[in-house]
Amino acid sequence: MITSMLPDNWIAVSIAYSHVSKSLLFTRYSHSLDPFTLQLPLTKSMSRMLGQNNFDFNDANDELVSIIQESKKTTSVEVTSTVKTSEDRAEWWGQRRALDSRLEKLLLNIESKWFGGFKGILGNTDIAKDEIESMKLKIGNIVTKSLSTMPHFNKVSGSFDSNDIDLYIIVLMLQLSMDDPRAAENVEDLTWISYALKSNLN
C-alpha cells in the first residue's frame, strides 16, 4: 500500500480530472489516516457551499495554454534578439510581468472558485487523532449555535451532533491557515457541507 512506502513526515496527493463528471478527483495519503478521496465538481453550482461557479476546466486550461505559449514566444530567439535598447528591455519586462499577473489571476480563480475550503486537501500537515476529536467538538458547538438561530432549524430531523461531522472534513479544516483573508469563508464552506450532508441523510 502506498502509505507504507511514504516517509513518516510525507503527505501525498494524487489529482485527476474526469471529463465525464467534470470533476477534480483527489486522493490524500498519510501515515496517520486511511487514504481518502474527494470529488470536487467544477461546473455544478454548489451555491451556499462554494458560491456560484462559472469558471470551468476548459476555461482554466485554455488560459494556462495561452500563458505558456506567450511565455515561450517572449523567450524565443526571434524576440530576444530584437531587445537591444533600454526601451526594448522595458517593453519586454512589461510583457513578462503581464504574463505573471495573468498566471496569478488564474491560480487565484482556481483556489477561490474551485477549491474554497477544500484546498485543505493539499495541506502538508499530518494531523493527530486527538487534535481531530477536539476540533470536531468545537465545530459541532458552533454549528448547533448557528443553526438554532435559523427559522427552519426545527424542521431538521434531530439535532446536530459533533459525530455527524465527517472525519475528513475536520482534517481539511485543520489544514487551513487562519491568516488567509478568506479563512472564515473557507471554514464556512466545510462547516456548511457537514450540515448539508447530515440533513440529506436524514
Q: What is the pLDDT of residues 50-95, one digit of tens each?
A: 445 578 899 999 999 999 999 999 999 999 999 999 999 999 999 9
| pLDDT band of 193, cuts 50, 70, 90 | low
| Cell (9 digits) for 81 | 534578439
Please tell me the predicted confidence (pLDDT) of residue 185.
67
* Ramachandran sector of residue 51 (left: φ over 0; alpha: ψ -120 to 50; beta: rest): left
Distance CA 30, CA 165 (A): 20
In Å, what is the CA distance from 99 to each residue of 62, 71, 111?
A: 14, 7, 18
φ/ψ of 120, rounded to 5, equals -60, -20
Give percent of the chain with pLDDT exceeding 70: 60
| Cell (9 digits) for 56 | 470551468
Higher pLDDT, 162 or 116: 116
Please tell me the predicted confidence (pLDDT) of residue 56.
86
Higher pLDDT, 139 or 122: 122
φ/ψ of 26, rounded to 5, equals -115, 140
Whole-model pTM above 0.85? Answer: no
In Å, what is the CA distance from 16 to each residue of 11, 24, 26, 40, 153?
A: 17, 6, 7, 11, 38
Distance CA 24, CA 32 (A): 24
Q: Please determine, for residue 151, whether its predicted confidence score (pLDDT) is greater than 70.
A: no
- DSSP E strand stretches across the chain: 12-18, 23-29, 36-41
CA nearest neighbour of 36 among 166, 163, 128? 166
Measure the N-to-C terminal CA separation of the chain; round to a whole number of Å: 35
Q: Please determine, for residue 191, whether its predicted confidence score (pLDDT) is greater than 90.
A: no
CA nearest neighbour of 168 among 32, 74, 50? 32
Please tell me the predicted confidence (pLDDT) of residue 195.
53
Distance CA 82, CA 193 (A): 55
Grid look-up 478527483 returns 25
- Give the alpha-carbon dihedral of 74, 78, 80, 85, to 10 degrees: -120
Q: How many CB atoms lie within 10 A of CB 140?
A: 19
| pLDDT band of 153, cuts 50, 70, 90 | low
Instruction: Summarize the confidence of residues 41-54 as an average pLDDT.
Output: 54
